[in-house]
Amino acid sequence: MLRIFTLVYLRPEKEKSMANLKEIRIRIASVMSTQQITKAMKMVSAAKLRRAQDAIVQMRPYAGKLREIIENVSSSLDSSSGGAFAAQRKVEKVLIVAITSNRGLCGGFNSNIIKGVNKRINEEFAPQAKAGNVKVLSIGKKASESFSKKSNMSVGDYNTVYAALTFDNVAPIAEKIMADFAAGNYDRVEIVYNLFKNAAVQYVTTEQLLPITPPSKNEKSKAVNDYIFEPSKEQIVTDLIPRSIKTQLYKALLDSHASEHGARMTAMSKATDNAQELLRDLRINYNKARQASITNEILEIVAGAEALNG
């Protein structure tokens, strides 16, 4: 009777130990598989980041110089000379262009934009939002998914622009926004996007797209006005403003595109490091469980031998 009791008593502990070992082995295999995926995504994002970074670095000088030319040329003009896109109206209807990505797994990249837009609506345009006069145009699936849930706030999305992020593909979006502003559908248009600094740092930035902001007194004093204009100064401003608006939107998209890959590379790097730490802890637990299993087996053998001797 003593032999039977000893074997029956020790067997559940052995089975439990074996189950723990199997569970830990499954978790180790799962974490290793996840780590391989995060490593691959990190490498892909690093390669894409280099191209996206080169694009925005090359674009910034052109956008800055174009803005400088407009400020210089328009510095001596009155506010009405900028055409329909410079019309300063009472802000009653607002359009916010929210620029996010189509995919996740990039840390707080998308959520920061959504939070920034909501903060802008709740703090700066609360009366307009209460009247239902704040609309959001989404560029990127994540913004579209978020703001399409809010009734009558979303006015469309442009998620396919990332398939080929070129100036020619972005220009129709800017043209539609300009046409709506000129028609009086909106009194102000703002862009909320991630400004790229480096792979680890992106800033949520809000810029006024329309109406064109007139140069300040300091900017007027710095402006260079000794130009010979052909055709007229007014005609030059009228032609340059639409191109400047398209360029500003395109630059924001390039900034956001580079920021996305930087944020994803950073997030996948941290995920890979976390997976490595988790693997180390799991292997320690596995070794401890295996040692406990071996100890139990030895105790069974010793207990069985003592029962036979008894």
Q: Cα–Cα distance between 98 and 116 in angstroms, integer?
A: 9
Catalytic residue among 106, 117, 161, 268: 106
Quote the DSSP letter at residue 119.
H
Q: Do the Cβ atoms of 74 and 237 come closer than 8 Å? A: yes
pLDDT number for residue 247: 94
pLDDT number for residue 189: 95
CB atoms near residue 79 (< 10 Å): 12
Catalytic residue at 144?
Answer: no
For the chain, the straight-line distance linking the first and the last C-alpha, in angstroms and rounded, comes to 12
Mean pLDDT in residue range 11-19: 56
pTM, entire model: 0.82
Mean pLDDT in residue range 71-94: 72
Mean pLDDT in residue range 158-167: 90
Mean pLDDT over the full length of the chain:
84
Q: Cα–Cα distance between 242 and 174 in angstroms, integer?
A: 9
Q: How confident is the model at residue 200 (pLDDT cuts 50, 70, 90)?
A: confident
pLDDT number for residue 44: 93
pLDDT number for residue 18: 59
Res. 272: pLDDT tops 90: yes
pLDDT number for residue 1: 38
Which residues is 99 bridged to in the sheet?
139
Q: How many CA atoms lie within 13 A of 77 on its CB side?
A: 20
Fold of 45-268: Pyruvate Kinase; Chain: A, domain 1 (3.40.1380)
Res. 5: pLDDT tops 50: no
DSSP string, 232-251: -HHHHHHHHHHHHHHHHHHH
Mean pLDDT in residue range 192-205: 92
Nearest to 189 by CA among 171, 169, 212: 212
Q: How confident is the model at residue 12 (pLDDT cuts 50, 70, 90)?
A: low
Q: pLDDT by residue (tens digit) across 201-220? A: 999 999 999 888 766 655 55
pLDDT above 70 coverage of the chain, percent: 84
Res. 69: pLDDT tops 90: no
Mean pLDDT in residue range 178-201: 93
Q: How confident is the model at residue 3 (pLDDT cuts 50, 70, 90)?
A: very low
Res. 82: pLDDT tops 60: no
Q: pLDDT by residue (tens digit) across 22-43? A: 888 999 999 999 999 999 999 9
pLDDT number for residue 218: 58
Lowest-pLDDT choice from 101-105, 121-125, 179-183, 238-242 = 238-242
Res. 7: pLDDT tops 60: no
Res. 183: pLDDT tops 50: yes
Residue 161, SS3? helix
Mean pLDDT in residue range 241-249: 91
Q: How confident is the model at residue 260 (pLDDT cuts 50, 70, 90)?
A: very high
Q: Do the Cβ atoms of 257 and 53 come closer than 8 Å? A: no
